[in-house]
Amino acid sequence: MDILKKKKIIIKIGSALLLKDNEIRTSWLEKLAQDIKILQDNNIGVIIVSSGSVTIGKKYIFADKMTASKRRALSSIGQAELTSSFYQAFKKQNIDIAQILHTGGEYLNRQNYLNAIDTFKILLDNKAVAIINENDTILTEDIKIGNNDKIAARIAQMSDADLMILLSDIDGLYDKNPKLHSDAKLIHQIDKITKEIEDMAGDTVTKFGTGGMKTKIEAVKMAFNAGSDVIIANGLINHPIKNILETKNYSLFRSHSKKINAKKRWISDSLNFKGKIIINEKAAKALIETGSSLLPVGVVAIEGEFHKGDMVLINDEKDKKIATGVTSYNSTIARSIIGKNSGEIRKIIKKDFHEELIHRDNLALTYLI
């Protein structure tokens, strides 16, 4: 894969890479800025998702016992130094930066989502690099995404990126834990996320971060939904992006999904599901293989309460997520028409009839193993 032919790249940087003893690794960050300059000189737009504000904040506020309120305060004071460090490092390469504090609310409202897309476009068109972090200063645990691998994947979906690079403290995905097995082998290319691949990821968590390789694989699947390739590579070294360009010492995950439009990306990205629709095997096959709409005849159960126009999950009878979509009926009407064909539904619904429970234009498939 020729990375320099990509148009938009999301780069995720974890705390373990950016910080040492709660201090910014200034020299490393300056070398990263030099790498970003190489990408920009090749007309590649770059967005960065970065951790670090809470850890930096510990220099200023004593946090022997962490609470939600203290975490928000740490983030607010640490964010100022984090942004300043990026500004100073990138200014040396004549690169403008922008700060975006991510809330997750972009996925709840379609207009907010479109506004965010417009912001990304203007920044990228003007070669400004957006530095994105979750807005820990105001978010509560119930609405936080809480992991920057997944935030990066959502930004990749939202911005329609060609490539997402997850910089880690490891070279990529190994067939077994390299910290425990000296004969572990790096897997250089993965074309499909199988159970075997997920098992290889394990459940390791670094002392700095909120997620290990398992979370990165989940982020890969999210990026695959939007047709974005993913690279997991070692970011501890100097010039991590230049190293990717010059070597093959990383794991490349190739997406075979087709690019989807902004509306379907919003549907795919949503976090605000009001209910769940359980479908039979035949209906699941129709959605996956032919891209059809979801008809009531293929539905076996409705869970939760929702209104017409709400976002819902679509799962199979084994509770495996198949898709997400915007429903044409509320949950009461939906329950009254499940398993019925169009002729039967017309007899029940006299006004505002829809043949589909969810039209294919309002439905986005989930990446499937």
The alpha carbons of the chain give a radius of gyration, in whole angstroms, of: 22
Residues 253, 269: Cα–Cα separation, whole Å:
20
53 and 159 in one domain? yes
204 and 174 in one domain? yes
- What is the pLDDT at residue 138? 62
Residues 6 or more apart whose Cβ sits within 8 Å of residue 364: 225, 260, 264, 265, 267, 268, 323, 324, 325
- What is the pLDDT at residue 105? 58
For residue 197, give the nearest of 187, 185, 207, 209 by alpha carbon.
187
- What is the pLDDT at residue 204? 46
For the CA atoms of 111, 116, 118, 124, the dihedral, rounded to the nearest 10 degrees, stands at -170
47 domain-assigned: yes
335 and 193 in one domain? no
Length of the chain as a residue count = 369
74 and 214 in one domain? yes
Phi, psi of 108 (to 5 degrees): -85, -25
Residues 271, 38: Cα–Cα separation, whole Å:
35
209 domain-assigned: yes
Three-state DSSP at 102 gives strand
- What is the pLDDT at residue 241? 97
188 and 47 in one domain? yes
Name the token pair of 74. Answer: 């740490």
Residues 9, 32: Cα–Cα separation, whole Å:
14
Cβ burial of 25 (10 Å; 0-12, 13-18, 19+) is middle
315 and 206 in one domain? no
338 and 215 in one domain? no
293 domain-assigned: yes
Residue 300, domain CATH: 2.30.130.10
For residue 159, give the nearest of 279, 47, 325 by alpha carbon.
47
Task: State which of 263, 293, 323 marks the end of a domain.
Answer: 263
For the chain, the first-to-last Cα distance in angstroms comes to 23
Residues 215, 212: Cα–Cα separation, whole Å:
6
Residue 107, domain CATH: 3.40.1160.10
350 and 212 in one domain? no
For the CA atoms of 9, 13, 17, 18, the dihedral, rounded to the nearest 10 degrees, stands at 110
Task: State which of 263, 289, 323 marks the end of a domain.
Answer: 263
Residues 100, 154: Cα–Cα separation, whole Å:
14
Range of the domain at 57: 3-263
14 domain-assigned: yes
- What is the pLDDT at residue 271? 64
Contact 327, 357 (CB under 8 A): yes
183 and 111 in one domain? yes
Mean pLDDT (10-residue bins), the chain, 369 residues: 93 92 93 98 97 89 84 89 96 96 68 85 96 72 61 88 93 86 91 87 48 84 87 95 94 83 73 89 92 94 94 93 92 94 90 91 76
143 domain-assigned: yes
166 and 47 in one domain? yes
- What is the pLDDT at residue 47? 98
Contact 74, 63 (CB under 8 A): yes
Into how many domains does the chain fold?
A: 2
Task: State which of 263, 297, 323 marks the end of a domain.
Answer: 263
